[in-house]
Amino acid sequence: MIFSPCNRYKAVSESFPQFRLAGNNISFVPMFKYLGHLVDNKLLDDADVHREIKCLFARTNIMIRRFSCCSLSVKLRLFRSYCICFYDIALWKNVKAFILSKLKSAYI
C-alpha cells in the first residue's frame, strides 16, 4: 500500500508506474491501519479519533447492557477499566480542534 502524493504540483508525472513487491502489485490507498492506528495520506489523525469515539460508544453500550443490574460503584469501576483504553492517544499529533471536542463530549 502506497499513499498518493499530497502535493500534486510537486509531482514529476501525472501517472505513476505500477509498483511491485515480491511479484505482487502494490496499490495506492488513501488510508490504512498499522498496529491499530489509522494512518491517512494527509498525515492527520482525525480518522483514528473517530474510530476511537465509535469504540468508546460501543464498549460503553455493551457494558451498560451486560451490567445493568450492578451498583453505580461497580459500573464506574468497569467503565474506568474497560471503556477507557486510549493506548494510542500519545500518537495523535495532527488533530482538528472540533474532532477533539467530539471526543471530549463522548467521554463526558
Span 27-80, pLDDT tens digits: 878 888 888 888 887 878 888 888 888 888 888 898 889 998 999 999 888 888
User: CA-to-CA distance for 4 and 13, rounded, in angstroms?
Assistant: 12
Number of folded domains that form the chain: 1
At residue 25, the pLDDT reads 86
* Residue 100 near residue 50 (C-beta atoms within 8 A): no
At residue 8, the pLDDT reads 62
Q: Whole domain around residue 63: which residue ranges?
A: 36-107
Q: At what angle do helices 97-107 and 46-66 cross, to 10 degrees?
A: 10
User: CA-to-CA distance for 7 and 5, rounded, in angstroms?
Assistant: 6
Residue range 2-14, pLDDT digits in tens: 666 666 666 666 6
Among 16-30, 52-66, 88-102, top mean pLDDT goes to 52-66
At residue 69, the pLDDT reads 92
At residue 14, the pLDDT reads 66
Has residue 85 been placed in a domain?
Answer: yes
Has residue 84 been placed in a domain?
Answer: yes
C-alpha closest to that of 54 among 108, 104, 103: 103
> Using DSSP, how many helices (H) and how many strands (E) does the chain show?
3, 4
Q: In whole angstroms, how large is the CA radius of gyration of the chain?
A: 20
User: Which cell numbers in the block locate residue 82?
Assistant: 474497560
Has residue 13 been placed in a domain?
Answer: no
